[in-house]
Amino acid sequence: MVVTESSPGVSPRLIRSMLIPAVGLALVLALLAAATVPIRDRLYLSVAQTVEASFLGPVAGLIADKGLLALVAFTAVLAAWSWRNDRRGFGTLVVGGIGVVSAYLSSELVKLVVTEPRPCRALGIETVLECPEVGDWSWPSNHSVIAASFATACILAAPRLIWVVAPVAALLAFSRVMAGVHYVHDVLSGVALGVLVVSLVVAALLPFALRFPLLSQGPHPDVRAVRTAAGRRENDEDPSTRRRNN
């Protein structure tokens, strides 16, 4: 990751311009989710039963159960790096964190309204992970919402990370189907909700967050001082610079 004075992904104008692709992606995912509903049982069984009976079962279970922790840890590392090198990027992550919480609460609210049973209970099959208790509803997938939310926050703070965090979030979401605890439309809807809510929250709140000097400045003052000193040493050691000064 290249250190810059200001991150190209955190200006309010660019955040607003990224809102259109985010809404478009969420719409596409929502349409795909709706398209899979009529064949949800067939899709689910073809994935969950195949994985459960194969050597991929333990791997899928581990990713589905613990993989989200890796994405959370990556976001924490990015936040620490941004605090040191790009305060506006850090501000984006802070606002994105509000979006993550908002997306999760939205998902929980939808679950309470829809109350769709888990496929492992509705179909009564053996799955990689133990089927959640009755009342732990299926649609949308909370894991998928959270994975997509963290990934979106990271991408908005550092757009070049899209090639890292987007595949990870997609794998985490689909692993919930492989582990047998969600339908395909659950995870597609969850990803759509996470992307949309975080993008909306960041677009709405970031311009206000950047009014705080702590979040609107460039690198940490110590980093700026080191760079300034390094630049002066380079100028002092450059013969052409000395000739011009003389």
**Tens-digit pLDDT profile for residues 112-171:** 999 999 999 999 899 999 999 988 999 999 999 999 999 999 999 999 999 999 999 999
Q: What mean pLDDT is predicted for residues 16-38? A: 91
Spatial separation of the C-alpha atoms in residues 126 and 123, rounded to whole Å: 9
pLDDT of residue 217: 62
| Contact by Cβ (8 Å): 37, 180 | no
Spatial separation of the C-alpha atoms in residues 224 and 213, rounded to whole Å: 15
DSSP of the chain, one letter per residue? ----SS-TT-SHHHHHHHHHHHHHHHHHHHHHHHHHGGGHHHHHHHHHHHHHTSTTHHHHHHHHHHHHHHHHHHHHHHHHHHHHH-HHHHHHHHHHHHHHHHHHHHHHHHHHHH-PPPHHHHHT---SSPPPPTTS--SS-HHHHHHHHHHHHHHHH-GGGHHHHHHHHHHHHHHHHHTTSS-HHHHHHHHHHHHHHHHHHHHHHHHHHTTSHHHHSSS-HHHHHHHHHHHHHHHHH-HHHHHHH-
pTM of the predicted model over 0.85: no
Using 50, 70 and 90 to split pLDDT, how confident is the model at 206?
A: confident
pLDDT of residue 139: 96
Q: What mean pLDDT is predicted for residues 180-197? A: 97
Using 50, 70 and 90 to split pLDDT, how confident is the model at 32?
A: very high
Q: What mean pLDDT is predicted for residues 41-68? A: 95
Instruction: Give the CA distances from residue 220 to residues 80, 118, 149, 198, in Å, rounded to whole numbers and listed in that order.
Output: 11, 48, 27, 26
The pLDDT tens digits of the residues spanning 141-158 come to 999 999 999 999 999 999
pLDDT of residue 207: 84
| Contact by Cβ (8 Å): 234, 54 | no
pLDDT at 242 over 70: no
Using 50, 70 and 90 to split pLDDT, how confident is the model at 88?
A: confident
Q: What mean pLDDT is predicted for residues 185-197? A: 97
pLDDT at 71 over 90: yes
